[in-house]
């Protein structure tokens, strides 16, 4: 049965989907009343349909704030409504745009060279793993070639928080790619850039942005300070996780990598920041960037292909309805944010939600806004006759380059693969785990979305590795995983291995009972061989159960695994157990050789045990490859 609130949501959505008078007349202006009706409908549906308590929204156009509104609640317990001018949300990685603006200010002042080795500005050394040094230009475009490190990114209490200097020195990632070649999103890279600003400016990063960005723009309800200053703490929205039919309130999320995502801000303040960028660094009578500097910041600095969208100086770029969009999303466990600027239309949108469901709707909200007020003709793409042959070469499982290669975090690649499949008519189907999107080839290696202007680009390098780039998220480059590194292979080895060893143990138990009745004891080495296999199977089950338990131990207040906030004690035990697997696998290989030499069992029994030894060896290799066995 639909509640009165649900009927109201449906009515508002229907009103929102009616053609906009501004769009119908191709007017360069947007009617504020129509705009508010549109967003009221969209937000009502988003909040109720995705279990989101509250949201804050700002739309700017032609140099003014067109809509500034809060939706729902900042705090459910007190029923405090969202105040768009005062209520602070956590924009997460959207904070990076403040950091990149600070970098451009220092470049403008002559204290930073975007193309100089970053080691010139540091009090520690980035190793010279590759001939090319890392520059600020690489950091701005997420192309420094760092591996990703999740450890230490979030902590739950102020006591666990440590300084930016400590973070960049303690969590220095390995360099795994030559700089400037592949864009792989890097929180560490942004934190490093903020630390460089801190050093050349001679003041803490939080104070620098407060004095040189927030104060000039009148952003009185914005800060990077953690914990929040007392005058702002009372205005902080609560973040929620909806689980088991109830909302669970989380605490303040502390981020040691401060410049990468620690800002707290109101929508009203973010509206002023958007206006400053849309006006090339100016707001009213103040400037945070000279016009030429702002134009440089908004210009493309990196692209994997001239036909493709890429990275500006910190901003991601994409095309929506034919318009250039500078954008950046942001996520903490509890808050999900998007900021979008369309300079050609002089329009900007900022939205932030205080629950997980916001991650599912923020881009949809912006695209719906663009479709209503800045539409483009829709054209259905038809695959060419030879499309099936072209598309087939890109089919496979793709893993994000943004990954760890040095620690057990590497295994996270298996939890978020992209699957690319080819349809019978030659379209490519890209499955992200959230949605399945179809693309049609428009040029060799370049595919366009069936209904939108989003594109996907495939490239094959000289080593035969295939790379995949999505136009709306350029820094999240993926590569096609080799067959031995796919989720299917890992699942087959682990699940198949568990079943094989358990069935073998059962069969041996039956054989053992039969031998006892016939009073024919097996040779001691044969018994030891079987026990080594049984122990391997048992230990494998224990390891898999512990791994599933650790990854599946979801913090009820934040909706993410507890390991996200720090390693549990059980992890130390888990990482020690694979050494037992390796020792048992080695013993099985030795026993398999002995079995053939001394003719244990019949030929089928020897083949069976040899197969177990090979499987055990493959499982150990799998654990080594995914860094669960650190030799």
**What are 536-552's pLDDT values in tens digits?**
999 999 999 999 999 89
CA distance 600 to 114: 69
Confidence of residue 517 (pLDDT cuts 50, 70, 90): low
In terms of domains, do 499 and 607 share one? yes
pLDDT at residue 631 is higher than 60: yes
Q: What is the structure's pLDDT at 70?
A: 98
pLDDT in tens, 229-282: 999 999 999 999 999 999 999 999 999 999 999 999 999 999 999 999 999 999
Q: Taking every pair of C-alpha atoms in the chain, what is the biggest distance, in angstroms?
A: 99
Angstrom distance (rounded) from CA 215 to CA 480: 46
In a domain, 86, yes or no: no
73 and 126 in a single domain? The answer is no
| Euclidean distance between CA atoms 260 and 102, whole angstroms | 13
What's the pLDDT score for residue 28? Answer: 54
Categorise residue 236: left if φ over 0, alpha if ψ from -120 to 50, beta otherwise.
Answer: beta
Write the pLDDT tens digit of every residue in 109-155: 999 999 999 999 999 999 999 999 999 999 999 999 999 999 899 99
**Residue 159 pLDDT more than 70?**
yes
Mean pLDDT score of the chain: 90
**Phi and psi of 110, rounded to 5°?**
85, 10
Residue 199 pLDDT grade (very low, low, confident, very high; cuts 50, 70, 90):
very high
| Residues 59 and 97 both lie in one domain | no
172: tokens are: 């220095």
Q: For 361-364, which contacts have Cβ atoms below 8 Å and span 24 or more sequence positions?
A: 361/46, 361/50, 362/329, 362/336, 362/337, 362/338, 363/329, 363/338, 363/472
Taking the C-alpha atoms of residue 12 and residue 317, their distance in angstroms, rounded to an integer, is: 31
Q: Which of 344, 360, 376 is the last residue of a domain?
A: 360
Whether residue 128 sits in one domain with residue 198 = yes
Shared domain check, 511 and 417:
no
Note the pLDDT of residue 376: 87
- State whether 161 and 237 are in the same domain: yes
In a domain, 176, yes or no: yes
Average pLDDT over residues 13-34: 56
What does the pLDDT average to over 219-224?
98
Same domain, 201 and 105: yes
Residue 22 in domain: yes
DSSP secondary structure letters along 222-271: EE--SSPPHHHHTTBPPPEEEETTEEEE----B-SSHHHH--EE-HHHHH
- The verdict on 531 and 502 lying in the same domain is yes
Q: Does residue 260 lie within any of the structural domains?
A: yes
Question: Are 70 and 204 contained in the same domain?
Answer: no
Q: Is 377 among the domain residues?
A: no
Q: Which of 427, 456, 481 represents a domain boundary (last residue)? A: 481
**pLDDT for position 2:** 38
Share of the chain above pLDDT 90, in %: 73
What is the count of structural domains for the chain? 4
Give the CA distances from residue 294 to residues 107, 282, 484, in Å, rounded to whole numbers and listed in that order. Answer: 11, 9, 47
Task: Give the Cα separation of 20 and 26 in Å (integer).
Answer: 10
Of 38, 60, 81, the residue that ends a domain is 81
**The predicted structure's pLDDT at residue 160:** 94
pLDDT of residue 520: 56
Residues 6 or more apart whose CB falls under 8 angstroms from that of 506 comprise none
Are 426 and 564 contained in the same domain? no
Q: Does the structure show a pLDDT above 60 at 17?
A: no
Q: Which domain holds residue 588?
A: 485-625
557 within a domain of the structure (yes/no): yes
On whether both 69 and 122 belong to a single domain, the answer is no
Cβ-proximal residues to 369 (8 Å cutoff; 6+ apart), any chain:
38, 39, 59, 349
* Alpha carbon distances (Å) from 203 to 107, 194, 261, 499: 16, 11, 19, 60
Specify whether 276 is located in the same domain as 391. Answer: no
Rg (CA), the chain: 28
């Amino acid at each position: 049965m639909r509640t009165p609130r649900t009927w109201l949501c449906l009515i508002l959505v229907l009103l929102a989907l009616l053609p906009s008078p501004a769009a119908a007349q191709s007017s360069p202006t947007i009617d504020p009343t129509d705009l508010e009706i549109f967003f009221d409908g969209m937000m009502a549906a988003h909040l109720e349909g995705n279990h989101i308590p509250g949201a804050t929204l700002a739309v700017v156009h032609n140099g003014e704030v067109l809509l500034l509104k809060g939706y729902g609640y900042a705090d459910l317990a007190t029923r405090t409504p969202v105040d768009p001018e005062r209520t602070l949300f956590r924009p997460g990685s959207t904070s990076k745009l403040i950091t990149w603006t600070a970098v451009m200010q220092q470049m403008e002042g002559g204290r930073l060279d975007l193309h100089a080795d970053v080691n010139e500005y540091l009090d520690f050394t980035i190793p010279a793993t590759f001939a090319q040094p890392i520059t600020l230009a690489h950091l701005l475009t997420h192309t420094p070639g760092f591996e990703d490190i999740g450890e230490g990114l979030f902590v739950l209490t102020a006591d666990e928080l440590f300084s930016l200097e400590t973070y960049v020195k303690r969590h220095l990632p390995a360099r795994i790619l030559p700089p400037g070649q592949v864009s792989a999103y890097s929180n560490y890279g942004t934190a490093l850039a903020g630390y460089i600003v801190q050093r050349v400016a001679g003041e803490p990063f939080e104070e620098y942005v407060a004095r040189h960005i927030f104060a000039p723009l009148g952003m009185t309800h914005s800060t990077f300070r953690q914990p929040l200053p007392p005058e702002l703490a009372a205005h902080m929205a609560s973040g929620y996780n909806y689980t088991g039919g109830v909302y669970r309130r989380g605490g303040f999320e502390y981020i040691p990598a401060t410049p990468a995502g620690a800002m707290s801000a109101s929508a009203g303040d973010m509206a002023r920041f958007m206006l400053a960028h849309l006006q090339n660094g100016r707001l009213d009578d103040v400037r945070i960037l000279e016009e030429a500097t702002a134009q440089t910041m908004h210009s493309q600095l990196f692209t994997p292909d001239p036909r493709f969208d890429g990275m500006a100086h910190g901003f991601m770029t994409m095309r929506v309805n034919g318009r250039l969009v500078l954008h950046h999303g942001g996520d903490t466990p509890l808050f999900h944010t998007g900021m979008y600027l369309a300079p050609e239309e002089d329009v900007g949108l900022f939205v932030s939600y205080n629950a997980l469901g916001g991650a599912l709707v923020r881009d949809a909200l912006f695209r719906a806004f663009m479709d209503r007020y800045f539409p483009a003709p829709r054209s259905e793409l038809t695959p060419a006759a030879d499309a099936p042959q072209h598309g087939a070469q890109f089919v496979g499982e793709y893993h994000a380059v943004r990954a760890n290669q040095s620690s057990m975090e590497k295994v996270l690649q298996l939890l978020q693969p992209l699957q690319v499949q080819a349809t019978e008519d030659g379209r490519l189907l890209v499955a992200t785990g959230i949605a399945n999107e179809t693309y049609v080839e428009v040029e060799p290696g370049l595919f366009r979305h069936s209904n939108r202007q989003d594109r996907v680009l495939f490239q094959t390098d000289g080593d035969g590795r295939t790379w995949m780039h999505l136009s709306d998220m350029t820094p999240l480059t993926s590569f096609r995983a080799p067959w031995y590194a796919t989720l299917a292979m890992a699942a087959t080895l682990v699940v198949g291995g568990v079943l094989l060893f358990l069935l073998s143990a059962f069969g041996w138990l039956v054989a053992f009972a039969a031998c006892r009745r016939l009073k024919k004891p097996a040779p001691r080495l044969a018994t030891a061989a079987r026990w080594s296999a049984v122990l391997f199977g048992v230990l494998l089950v224990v390891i898999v159960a512990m791994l599933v338990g650790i990854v599946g131990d979801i913090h009820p207040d934040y909706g993410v695994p507890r390991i996200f906030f720090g390693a549990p004690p059980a992890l130390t035990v888990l990482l020690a157990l694979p050494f037992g697997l390796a020792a048992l696998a080695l013993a099985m290989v030795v026993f398999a050789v002995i079995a053939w030499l001394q003719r244990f069992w019949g030929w089928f029994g020897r083949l069976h045990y040899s197969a177990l030894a090979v499987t055990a060896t493959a499982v150990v290799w799998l654990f080594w490859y995914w860094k669960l066995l650190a030799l």
